[in-house]
Amino acid sequence: MTAYLLRRFLSLSLSLVAASLVIFLVMEVVPGDPASFMMGINADPAAVVALRTQLGLDDPLPLRYLSWVAGLLQGDFGVSYTYRVPVSELISERVAISLPLTLYALALSTLIAFPAGILAAAKRNSAADVSVMGATQLGVAIPNFWFAMILVLVFAINLRWFSAGGFPGWEAGFWPAIKALTLPAIALALPQASILARVMRSSLIDTLDEDFMRTARAKGLSRGQALRRHALRNALIPVLTIIGLQFSFLLAGGIIIENVFYLPGLGRLVFQAITQRDLIVVRSVVILLVFAVIVVTFLVDLAYAAADPRLRRRRA
């Protein structure tokens, strides 16, 4: 197990180095000078030059890359060009919204998908199965931004139960904050739940057809007992993969939802930073997301091992 962990750690570090280089270079070829963006079209050219020097944009490329990476290693993400505050501060403020939103959406999605998927698989071809499958078909097909707008229309504009968006901050209390995240979480969760429910159903059905299930039934277990004790655990592997993928997708990909609900999350930070050419923010957030994806993939691997002892033994 130690050797395995070491190997994983090494490949993780290599991926990060490669990613940092690619991200840095890609940002360099994107047209657009942060200084001229900040100064606008009526600005004095001398002032733009002064600002470029002040921001360190005239330093040679390798020097800027190395100083960025050196900073990252010490947990220093640099200073945002536009906001002029440490990037780490910006990111942590945004993660405080995006991470809970992601987890909230993931929890909702799992809570909806598991029972729905299990029900559909257990009662295959019944009316329940058909309605679950129909609903999930719809859930996959509906774009989440459209669904988000419908939620705003119904619950914010017509019923006035919720704000149309925004975030009061965690200092406003747990419930107000959770309330502000509820509509966005639902909008994010429903399409994910639909996918997850379908995966859960087909995975369970595959497992139910396996030999060991017949054996379990032959030993005298009821259909429900066999499903709970043996099938669920085995059907979890593909489901875990999807949950892992969904986590990364939601964390970075909540950007449209964050725009619809004007939540100051990570997605919106990147979006805004790209349009403003706040390259140092873009680079840092992207490398952080890459890191998050790698870590989550690693955790999902560990979860496989927990769910399936055979995988654990093979690796040990």
Can you give the binding site for another protein, defined by CB under 8 A?
31-34, 36-44, 46-47, 50-51, 54, 82-85, 90, 93-94, 138, 149-167, 169, 179, 182, 186, 259-262, 264-265, 268-269, 272, 275-277
Least distance CB 268 / another protein (angstroms): 6
Q: Which residues contact 298 (CB under 8 A, 6 or more apart)?
A: 8, 12
Q: Which is nearer to another protein, 59 or 89 (CB)?
A: 89
Least distance CB 305 / another protein (angstroms): 35
Least distance CB 138 / another protein (angstroms): 8
Angle at 99 between CA 301 and CA 69, to 5 degrees: 75
Which tokens belong to 205?
């059905």
Pick the closest to residue 180 from 199, 210, 152 (CA basis): 152
Q: Which is nearer to another protein, 56 or 238 (CB)?
A: 56
Least distance CB 36 / another protein (angstroms): 5
| Eight-class DSSP state of 172 | G
CA distance linking residue 212 with residue 17, whole number of Å:
45
Least distance CB 158 / another protein (angstroms): 7
Least distance CB 13 / another protein (angstroms): 31
Q: How far is CA 252 from CA 61, 94, 160, 265, 287, in A?
A: 28, 12, 29, 10, 12
Least distance CB 19 / another protein (angstroms): 23
CA distance linking residue 220 with residue 223, whole number of Å:
9
Cβ burial 23-36 (10 Å sphere, 16+ → b, else e): bbeeeeeeeeebbb
Q: Which is nearer to another protein, 230 or 268 (CB)?
A: 268
Q: Which is nearer to another protein, 89 or 209 (CB)?
A: 89
Q: Which is nearer to another protein, 155 or 291 (CB)?
A: 155
CA distance linking residue 222 with residue 228, whole number of Å:
10
Contact 113, 200 (CB under 8 A): yes
Q: Which is nearer to another protein, 25 or 85 (CB)?
A: 85
Q: Which is nearer to another protein, 11 or 92 (CB)?
A: 92
